Chain A
């Protein structure tokens, strides 16, 4: 079949202008495919990083026990304990599970936390806040406090508190000033503002405060354990799998971020579907272009096909010549389009440097190999109809033309 390849290549080089035009058409289709892949992929990355980049990807939450019932031997309920509204469930043995969780592949950071409600008082001003106790040294494990810091330091030590910019402004607090924080358990602590951050998220900047885990233990009267463990992953798309792995390893209730994010997932899915449709149209254009060009070539070369058949070329040989032409066009157009796509995407900022107002295109999601492979397959499929038509040429009629 090496000889069929030579004939196919000769046919393509014999009509250079037509071949160049055809390859250009295929390359444009591949370029569109790659550009759409990079745009849709980049957009999905951008949306995900902006929506779930700063949240826990897998959260282990303590399960609140049911209130105890006191039941008589006759089965009558004697006493019912009412669940307190501020009751905090705890992961009492969190410390023993941490090394096990940290050993799971794909986990970037683990942050044991104590979370509760409190109020900050400064003079006559009072603000309700959500208080989160973090382990010193792991302040930026989940929310990138270091990156969002606008004043002071993120280092949480004894007697220090981190506030959001909005909250600090509301209470007219600056780094180094003191405030009083009273927890829902009624414990009050005097704390110094160690740093002020600004995430751009109103809920975080205006109603959240971070303290050290030891301060949180005092505030929420929790001498041991934590209320939750937050986990950050290298690949947030692996959250479901890793959560299941943690559940099987520890027996704890590990919840992936995708639980309760159905709307976001649906939106991303719809966006991906849109991308598939556009890419499919690009491929269809390639297939139609190659098929029509080769059909034309088949018609133009009918006398030559007749000669080949008269000289003893089998139908399979003729099919192979035209299918090889399709494959060669696919390879040349695919590689040219992929190279053009890569060069066109180079000027766009990398996925880590997306800026507001620019197209969030991710050059790494161009699907170059897939684009080339699908183009070659598409071109081969497109050439089958012309090739079969060529193989059916009657040599007697064709030679007589």
Chain B
């Protein structure tokens, strides 16, 4: 396996002076292509900050971050936006769907913003993804009419829409009942197996973590295990 991304000596400090809080303290990590990894650690250990930096939504105070050969520390906002759209998918704890759009429109969104319109090919892929998520009968439903588990499966389909190499999931099952949580995790594991997409899943749930082939433990701003 080859390295998908590498970070080293990552430091992130919020605030300045006496109120400065150092959340990441020289964290280093490498993820291989096709990994299914769980990110574990107590609250405040820096898991969410790490995911945010890996997702190029935030820049570290210092350190190195390369993915697919791109130096993402040196890239500007425009380059990061395009990179994120093409190579990284997100699944949030609270699904974070666009409420005024249907399930299919939400799934197609990442492709539509890069293409400038909803192409028939994108809509076909969106339908296919929703069917794989077991939502064939909810394709044109407004997301407000879906259950929590269904919304999270729409969010997973959206994260996969552009065929990203990396999907970052921040507590994707944290807001679901155990049955829905297991359903979402099984889908993630299936896609990881079939398409080789790398998943990094932040979770507090040992049961969810045990479904992943690798567990990365973060504590006090560094990888501890």
Report the separation of the CA atoms of residues A307 and B91 in the bound assembly, to the nearest whole angstrom.
Answer: 10
Using CB atoms, name the residue of chain A closest to B92.
Answer: A399
Q: Is the CB of B86 within 8 A of A312?
A: yes
Report the separation of the CA atoms of residues A399 and B97 in the bound assembly, to the nearest whole angstrom.
Answer: 10
B109 at the A/B interface (Cβ < 8 Å)?
yes
Contacts A395-B57, A399-B92 known; A313 to B113 CB distance under 8 Å? yes
Using CB atoms, name the residue of chain B closest to A312.
Answer: B85
Q: Least Cβ distance of B151 to chain A in Å? A: 13
Enumerate chain B residues within 8 angstroms of A315, measured Cβ to Cβ: 77, 81
Q: Is the CB of A312 within 8 A of B113?
A: yes
Report the separation of the CA atoms of residues A395 and B81 in the bound assembly, to the nearest whole angstrom.
Answer: 11
Other-chain contact of B57, A3, A14, A317, A396 (Cβ < 8 Å): A396
A169 at the A/B interface (Cβ < 8 Å)?
no
Q: Least Cβ distance of A96 to chain B in Å? A: 71
Q: Is the CB of A312 within 8 A of B98?
A: no
Other-chain contact of B112, A3, A303, A309 (Cβ < 8 Å): A3
B58 at the A/B interface (Cβ < 8 Å)?
yes
**Chain A, 302-319, CB within 8 A of any chain B CB:** 303-304, 306-315, 317
Report the separation of the CA atoms of residues A304 and B97 in the bound assembly, to the nearest whole angstrom.
Answer: 8
Report the separation of the CA atoms of residues A10 and B142 in the bound assembly, to the nearest whole angstrom.
Answer: 12
Q: Is the CB of B113 within 8 A of A399?
A: no
Q: Least Cβ distance of B114 to chain A in Å? A: 7
A78 at the A/B interface (Cβ < 8 Å)?
no
Report the separation of the CA atoms of residues A10 and B101 in the bound assembly, to the nearest whole angstrom.
Answer: 8
Using CB atoms, name the residue of chain B closest to A313.
Answer: B113
Enumerate chain B residues within 8 angstroms of A304, measured Cβ to Cβ: 98-99
- How many A residues touch B, CB cutoff 8 Å? 23
B82 at the A/B interface (Cβ < 8 Å)?
yes
Using CB atoms, name the residue of chain A closest to B159.
Answer: A311
Interface string of B53-88 (1 = CB under 8 A from A): 001011000000000000000000110011011100
Report the separation of the CA atoms of residues A228 and B14 in the bound assembly, to the nearest whole angstrom.
Answer: 90
Interface residues of B (CB under 8 A from A): 52, 55, 57-58, 77-78, 81-82, 84-86, 90, 92, 96-101, 109-110, 112-118, 158, 162
A-B contact pairs, 30 of them (CB 8 A): A2-B117, A3-B112, A3-B113, A3-B116, A3-B117, A6-B117, A10-B101, A11-B100, A303-B96, A304-B99, A307-B96, A307-B98, A308-B109, A311-B84, A311-B85, A311-B90, A311-B113, A312-B84, A312-B110, A312-B114, A313-B81, A314-B78, A314-B81, A314-B113, A315-B77, A315-B81, A395-B57, A396-B52, A396-B57, A399-B92
Interface residues of A (CB under 8 A from B): 1-3, 6, 10-11, 14, 303-304, 306-315, 317, 395-396, 399
Q: With contacts A311-B84, A311-B113, A396-B58 known, what are 19 further pairs, Cβ within 8 A? A: A1-B116, A2-B116, A3-B113, A3-B115, A6-B118, A11-B100, A307-B96, A307-B97, A308-B109, A311-B90, A312-B114, A313-B85, A313-B113, A314-B78, A314-B82, A314-B113, A315-B81, A395-B57, A399-B92
